Amino acid sequence: MAQFFKAKAKSTSIKAIRDAQVLALDHHLNGVVKHQGKTYFVDGVLPGERVDVLPSAKSGPAKLLKRLNDAPQRIEPACQFYQECGGCSAQYLSAQAQRDYKLKAVAELISRQSGYQDLPEFEILSGDDWHYRRATRLSTWFDKQRGWQLGFRQKSSKDIVAISECIVLKPQLSALLVPLQQLLKTWPKSINLGHVELIDCQPQIVCRIRVRNQPSDKIAAQLRSFAQQHSIALVIATDEQSSYLMGEQAYYDLAEQDLRLAFTPGDFIQVNEAMNQALVSKALEWLQPCAEDQILDLYAGIGNFSLALGQKAQQVIAVEGVTAMTKQVLANAEANGLSNVSAFSGDLEQVETANAWQKTKVNKVLLDPARAGAKLAISQVAKLSPSTVVYVSCNPATLARDAKVLKQAGYRLSNLALVDMFAHTEHVETMALFER
């Protein structure tokens, strides 16, 4: 019987890369490694270090197998939970070194992707490196032996690290972690506990607890006692509603503008109070609002920028995707004595919304989108042809993408600022001023 040759299938397994050099850090603070014409990104390494890594594909993310040497800039992380906790992953660098690397990477990204080659020099806005977070979200998990567990997610895992303190949280929030863990672990599994939020605001700290169903009378009594003992407000959030079990309306101040902004726990607010104030003040400095200005504020939230602009402009039009937050803008404007702030709701990535706000006659625009950026809205902004655009971004990649649209529309990039909103993490806030 004839026999036919059959070639062996080529192995598709991806092999480890040995003794590779880390060349740079990208804007996520991942180490950049090049091998045989391919580029890989490795978490937790620094330029000058040599590493063994395992790629997950022919290019892209790679898992660190071993670090063969330490760069001179590497320091010992300050947090005792650093090795397990998935937050604050950049602690192996000093805060200043983090900012230096972020600035370089963001500048390269914007220059490469936006079309703006000669960038203005970055301003750097920074504050406290520790104890700066005024808000946090804690995860929960039910363990059959230990009951409900409360903490932060482990690195690259859904498991939870039950921490006793967090050194990036405001001390008054960190002090609540252990008491909360002790309270929640006694609850039955049937409570269907979700995440827990802590917010340092006025007139008192708020603890917002997410549950599937309203708590029983027994658990509600425990919560009231806990709130009284720790002098905090308690909010219970279900799929249907969010309501105060104890406490008063939450708010925060913009001290430099003498403004008070009420919000509903669960609404978006910036986690770093000092840097939020810096954002607002810098936006005012760049936009220079005056009595003749009609200003459009896109992705307005609860009016964080709208009210400050309304103190000086003739008219501010705020657009926000969440109806409840749009109503809060109007309520905040009224509470602060501002009658020149109008607001309406609409999805800013829908043409119908853009058609509505395009009918307004404005000469200046501020936008502060989420990480996805303003892919549709930025084109509509360019069509309005305002003299000045201030773009506040929590994702430099989408800022660079949207800046390209403004460049093509004839805008020059006049100012840039790096705002260290999230020290010890990969994240960074960026501000850009565009002018005709």
Q: Are 218 and 224 in contact (CB under 8 A)?
A: no
Is 394 annotated in the active site? yes
Q: Is 290 exposed, middle or buried (0-12, 13-18, 19+ CB in 10 A)?
A: exposed
Mention every residue, 6+ apart, whose C-beta is less than 8 A from residue 100.
Answer: none
Give pairs for 28-34: CB < 8 Å, separation 24+. Answer: 28/426, 29/89, 29/90, 29/93, 29/98, 29/101, 29/102, 29/105, 29/426, 30/61, 30/426, 33/62
Buried-exposed string 44-63: b where 16+ CB fall within 10 A, e elsewhere: bbbeebbbbbebeeeeeebe
Spatial distance between the Cα atoms of 242 and 329, rounded to a whole number of angstroms = 19
Mention every residue, 6+ apart, whose C-beta is less than 8 A from residue 314.
Answer: 291, 292, 293, 294, 340
Spatial distance between the Cα atoms of 178 and 150, rounded to a whole number of angstroms = 9
- Residue carrying structure tokens 């937790």: 44
First to last CA, the chain: 82
Nearest one of 435, 324, 332 to 385, comparing CA atoms: 435
Q: Is the peptide bond before 203 cis (omega within 30 degrees of 0)?
A: yes
- Residue carrying structure tokens 């919304």: 353
Q: Which of 79, 85, 166, 394 does the annotation list as catalytic?
A: 394
Please compute Rg for the chain using Cα positions.
25
Label the pairing between strands 429-435 and 412-419.
antiparallel
Mention every residue, 6+ apart, whose C-beta is less than 8 A from residue 271.
Answer: 133, 134, 135, 136, 421, 422
Mention every residue, 6+ apart, whose C-beta is less than 8 A from residue 154.
Answer: 84, 85, 86, 160, 161
Residues annotated catalytic, as ranges: 394
